[in-house]
Each structure stands twice: as C-alpha cells, then as structure tokens.
Structure 1
C-alpha cells in the first residue's frame, strides 16, 4: 500500500504527506454522494403489508419499474438502462428475465 502511495506521489523532492490505505475509499465516497435518499413522504408507492411473498413482490416491482423506464425512454433500451443506472447488457438480461420482448413493447 505504501508503494502505491509513493507511486502516485510524483514529486520525489517533497515528503509524502498522504498515504492512502484504502484505494477504494475515494470511489466509495463518490458513489455514496451520488445516491439520493428519498424521504418516506415522497415515495409514490406504499409498502405492502406483511406477511407477503417477497420474491413475487420484488419481481412485480422490478417489472413495473422496467415498463416505466422503457416508456419514459420511448422504448430506447440504452436510455432506459441509463435511467435505471444499468448497462445496456444488464438491462437486456433483466428484460429477458421478465420476458419483455421487442415485439411486446
């Protein structure tokens, strides 16, 4: 780890004042900044009452969000993937899982 910090510090004439112990900490902080937390009052859908079948509920919720993203992106899958924070190939896999075919859209 020290070697990585020395390598990143390009000026050999100055003392190394910052040793990065966790090289992924900066990336995690940026990711955490990008996540917006919704307050419970701003949610459009309500949480279901318990008991429930979690797998079915998650499957149906994911399906509805996919349909909404596709409609908002005018069925452009690359734009829909971007809206959902997914890659194009990740979106295609989820569409296949939900059997949402191009002809159905």
Structure 2
C-alpha cells in the first residue's frame, strides 16, 4: 500500500489512531477496514511520524465542534477602517490557532473550521 503512494515505509499508528480502529464496529467487515486504512495512509502522506488521524467516513462532518471560550465584547474606537480591522482580526485568529495547534497547520485548520488548503491560502494572504 505504501509503495503505491510512494512512501518508503509505513510509520505505524499513534495510540489514538489504534484506539479508533479497535473501537469501531466495522459493519462493512474487512473491506471497510482496508478502505479506511488506505484512505488514512494516503491522506497522512508521510513516513516521518505515526499516522494519527483515522478517517472512518470522509463525507461526515464533525458534529461536535469545540466550544469557543466565552469572550467579552470588545470596545473599539470609532471611526475605524472596518476592512483593516477585519484583516487584523483574521490575522490574529490565524496566529492564535497556529500557536494552540503547536504550529501544526492541519490541526490549526481544524480549530478554525477550515480545510488545510483554505488555511494555507489565508497564511499566504497575511504573509504568515
């Protein structure tokens, strides 16, 4: 399987990924297991570290979104340039999400509810 996608070796599963595989019921039996592992290895795409994300159903959206911390309304002096303010807020959110995800862009994208490619485009836009 790794040879087919150009990986020199399979890095193994993280503990969390193993737990996901072990606790899923596998109604589709071995074919479903094979498809899930292939999809996860393909999307992981590296031999540098263990596979940490198992994608059981690629079409299902996460139903439990992390709760955002309660924030107090900020007071902003008027007049202000709304576009510039929005751009700065967007940049701040990007930097905060990267810090919380320990600069793992895939995880930062998940924190913001974006795809990896959407996050990359915003990072490029803000020159981060």
Range class of TM-score, shorter chain: 0.5 to 0.7
Say whether residues 1:87 and 2:111 are aligned partners.
no
Alignment TM-score, normalising by the size of structure 1: 0.54
Provide the aligned C-alpha RMSD in A: 2.5
Q: Which runs of 5+ in 1 are unaligned?
A: 1-30, 101-105
What's the offset of the Cα at 1:47? 3.8
Larger relative CO (CA 8 A, sep 6+): 1 or 2? 2
| Number of aligned residue pairs | 65
Counterparts of 1:82 and 1:60 in 2: how far apart (Å)? 20
1:34-53 paired onto structure 2 within 5 Å: 42-44=70-72, 46-53=74-81
Say whether residues 1:77 and 2:105 are aligned partners.
yes
Q: Which runs of 5+ in 2 are unaligned?
A: 1-62
Alignment TM-score, normalising by the size of structure 2: 0.45
Structure 1 residue ranges, 4+ long, deviating more than 2 angstroms after superposition: none
